[in-house]
Amino acid sequence: MSERAFKKEVERAIDFYENFAGRPARRVHQIMNRYPSEIEAISHLVTSADLQQGFKVLRDGGHLDKTFEALVVQFQCLFRTEVVQAAQWRLDNPYALF
Q: What phi-psi label fits residue 62: left (phi over 0), alpha (psi between -120 and 50 degrees) or beta?
A: left
User: Domain residues of the chain, as ranges?
Assistant: 3-92
Does 1 score more than 80 pLDDT?
A: no
pLDDT for res 51: 81
pLDDT in tens, 14-70: 999 999 999 999 999 999 999 999 999 999 999 998 888 899 999 999 999 999 999
47 exposed, middle or buried (CB, 10 Å; 0-12, 13-18, 19+)?
A: middle
pTM for the model stands at: 0.93
For Cα atoms 48, 91, 75, give the angle at the middle one, nearest 5 degrees.
80
